[in-house]
A and B are shown apart, each in its own frame.
Chain A
Amino acid sequence: MSTLAERADARAPRRLAFRLGAMSDRAIAWLFITPSVLLLLAINIFPLLWTIQLSFTNYRANRPNAPLRYIGLDNYRDILSDPDVWHAMQATAHFVLWSIVLEMLIGFGLALLINRRFRGHSFWTTMILLPMMLSPAVVGNFWTFLLQPQIGLFNSAVAFFTGADPSSFQMIGDVALAPWAIIMVDVWMWTPYVMLICLAGLRSIPDYIYEAAEVDRASPWRQFWSITLPMVMPFLMLAILFRAIENFKMFDMVNLLTSGGPGSTTEVASITLKREAFEKWRTGYSSALAIILFVTVFGAANIYVRALDRVKQR
C-alpha cells in the first residue's frame, strides 16, 4: 500500500529529493520557463534592441575601428525615400500575394478531392508532401537547372505539351516571367502545406450539420458555400498567416533561384537587406531596414490574428 512512497524514497537520493520535493509549484513553474525565456531574450530580444540602437548610427561592421556616430533618423529617412527599397517591398508583396492565392486555390482544391478518400489517396498524399520537406536553398539551386531553356526539364516539358520551341521563352531571365518563376517554385513547395491544413479543417466538420442541411434540401453547392467554406475558413486563415510570414521573410529560395534578378525584378526585401548588411557592410542602414521590416510583419500579423480570432468566434 505504501509501496509507491517507499519506493520513491528508496530510489531518489535522500537529500536532493527532500530539497526539490519541497519546491512549490510556483518555483517549479519559474524554473521550467526561465531557461527558454532567457535563451530567447539573449538570441532574439537583445539582438533586436541592439539592432534598434545600430539603426541610429552609421556603423559599418567591416570598419570596427572607425568612430561611431549617432545620426538620428537619417537612416530611416534614406530608406523611406529610396525608390529601390519601395521597389523591393513591391516585389515582396507581389510574391507573397500571388503565392498565397495560388497555394490556397490549389491546396483547397486538392484537399476537397482527397477528402473523398478514393483508392490510394494516402499514397498520393504522401507524394505531394515531399517537396515541402526539402531545403529551400537546395530547391532554389536545382530549379535554376530545371528552368534553363536548353538543358532544363521545364522548357522541354512545356514544349512537349504545347509544341512551342523550348528556347523561345525563359522563366528566370525574362522581366515579365521571373516574378512568376519564384511564385511557381514556392507554390510547388508549399501547396501541400495549405492542403494538409484544409484537409484537417474539412475533417473537423461534423456530419450532423450536413445531415441537417440535407433535411432542409439544400443543394450541394449551397452546402459548400454556407457550411464547408465558413467552417474551413479559420484553418485557411491560419495557413495564410503562416505562409505570409514565411514568404515575407523569404531569402534562400529566391536568392539561389534568381539572385534578385533580372536587374532587381525579384529582389525581395530580404535580399536587399542581405546586400546592404553583408556585402556593402552598411550595418547602421541595414539595421534600420530590418526594424522597418520587422515592424511591418509584426503589425500586420497582430491585426490579422485579431481578425482570425473574430472569425473563429463566429
Chain B
Amino acid sequence: MIRTMRALGATAVVVASCLAGQAPAEAKQLTLCWAAWDPANALVELGKDFTTKTGIEMKYEFVPWTSYADRFLNELNSKGKLCDLIIGDSQWIGGAAENGHYVKLNDFFKKEGITMDDFMPATVVGYSEWPKNTPNYWALPAMGDAIGWTYRKDWFAKPEIQADFKKKYGRDLAPPETWDQLKEIAEFFQGREIDGKKVYGAYIYTERGSEGITMGVTNALYDWGFQYDNPKKPYEMEGFVNSPEAVKALEFYKSLYKCCTAPGMSNAYMSEGLDAFKSGQVAMQMNFFAFFPGLYKDPNVGGDKIGFFVNPKEKYHYTQLGGQGISVVSYSPNRDDALAYIKWFAQPDIQKKWWALGGYSCHKAVLNDPGFAKSAPFASDFLKSMDMVKDFWAEPAYAELLLDMQKRVHDYVVADKGTAKEALDLLVKDWQKVFKEEGKI
C-alpha cells in the first residue's frame, strides 16, 4: 500500500513538473527569410526594436544569393511553414501572387492606414504590384536597390593619370556619363601599372548560373532601346527584343567584356565584383547599391578612395532594378504577428533608422528628406537611379525566361557563340515557347 502511494506520488510530481515546465502561452516568434548579405545584418539590428516594442522574438533565415531563389522558391512551392515573412526578389511577385504564396495586403493596408503613395512609385510597381500597374499589393517595398557603379577616385585624382588621359582623349578624366565614355576610360586603365601592379578597366556581371549576366547586360540593353515586348501589344517580342538597337547594345556589352575587364571574370556576379574592386584590380565596378555602404567603409578602397556614379546613358537612360519587397507567407501560422511586423516596418521613423543602419528605404519620408542626398556619398546617385529603373519580367514563368536569357547571352558574350542578332533571335523563340506553354500567346 505504501509502495503504491509512493509510486503514485512520484508520478504526480513528475507530471506536475512537466506541466509546470510548459509556459502558459508559447513565446511568440517570427521567422524572416532573406538573402545573406550586408543589408540583412542591418535588418537584424533594426529588428531588435520590433522585439522591444512587441515582445515577439525575431528569428532569421538568411541564404546566400546564389542559392536564394532555389531555396525559397522550393520552400514556397512545398507550402513550407519555415518563413512567416519573406523578403522575396522582385521577380517572384507574379508567381507568388498567382500561386497563392503571398498574402494580399490591400485590406490590411487600408485597415492600418498604410498607403502606397508614401513609397516611391518605381518601388511600388517593382516590388509590390501584380499585375503590374494595378492596385493589387502583395508586398511592402522593403529594400530599394538598383545597379550603380563605383570607381577609384584616388586613381582618377592622380596627376599623371589625369595628364595622360587628357593627352589621349582631349578631355578631363571624370566619371563617365555615357557608355562610350565608360569604354574609353576602361580602355585607358586596362593593363596600366598603378602602384606597382597591373590593373584593369572595368568589372561587369557575367555570371551564368543564376541571373548575373542578365542583370548586367540589361543596363546596356535598356539604354540602347531594348524592350521586352510591344508596349501596345503585350507578349509581342519580335522586333522589340531583337531590334537592331538591341543587337548593337549586346555587341557593345561583349566588346566591353573582351577589351577592358580583368581576366578570369567569366562567371562573376556580385561577390566577385566586390573581391575584384577591394583587391585593387579594377578602376570601375558595376554592382548593386546595396553594397555601397560596405564598400565605403572598406579599409582598403573606401572613404576618399571610392567614388560613385549612376549607370551611364546612351539613347535612353535606365538602370536595372534590384531590390525586394517584404511579404507575408500565406502558409504561415503566425499571420497576425507577421502583419504586425509589416505595420511596424512601414513607420517613417523606422524607415529612417533602416536607412541609417545600411538598408535602402523606399519611403518618401526618407528619400524626399532634404538631408538625404548628403547623408551618404552615394545617396544622390541612388535617388537618381531609382527614378530611372526598369525591371525584368515578373511573370510567374520568370525563372524560365531568365534562364533562357542567361544561356543565350552568356553563349554569345563569353563563349563566342554566333552573332548578337542570332542570340537575340533565339531568345525570342525561347520566350515565345514559354509564353505559348503559359497560354499567354
Contacts and interface: CB of A to CB of B under 8 A. Distances in A.
Chains A, B in direct contact (C-beta < 8 Å): yes
B166 interface: no
B196 to A, nearest CB: 14
A41 to B, nearest CB: 25
A275 B69 CA distance: 13
Interface in B248-274: 262-267
A272 to B, nearest CB: 10
A201 interface: no
A308 interface: no
Contacts of B384: none
Interface string A250-263: 00000100111111
Nearest to B69: A279
Interface in B4-54: none
B415 interface: yes
Contact of A280 (B74, B265, B399, B416): B399
Contact of A173 (B70, B95, B263, B417): B263
Contact of A278 (B70, B209, B267): B70
Contacts of B399: 279-281
B158 to A, nearest CB: 21
Contacts of B264: 147-150, 152, 167, 170, 172-173
B198 interface: yes
A11 interface: no
Interface string A134-167: 0000000000100111111000000000000001
B414 A170 contact: no
A260 B208 contact: yes
Contacts, number: 93
| Chain B residues touching A, range | 20 to 34
A68 interface: no
A105 interface: no
A149 B209 contact: no
Contact of A279 (B77, B276, B403, B412): B403
A222 to B, nearest CB: 49
A55 interface: no
Interface in B94-110: 95, 99
Interface of B: 70, 73-74, 77, 95, 99, 198, 207-209, 262-267, 275-276, 279, 281, 399-400, 403, 407, 410-412, 414-417
Interface of A: 61-64, 84, 144, 147-152, 167-170, 172-175, 255, 258-265, 275, 278-282
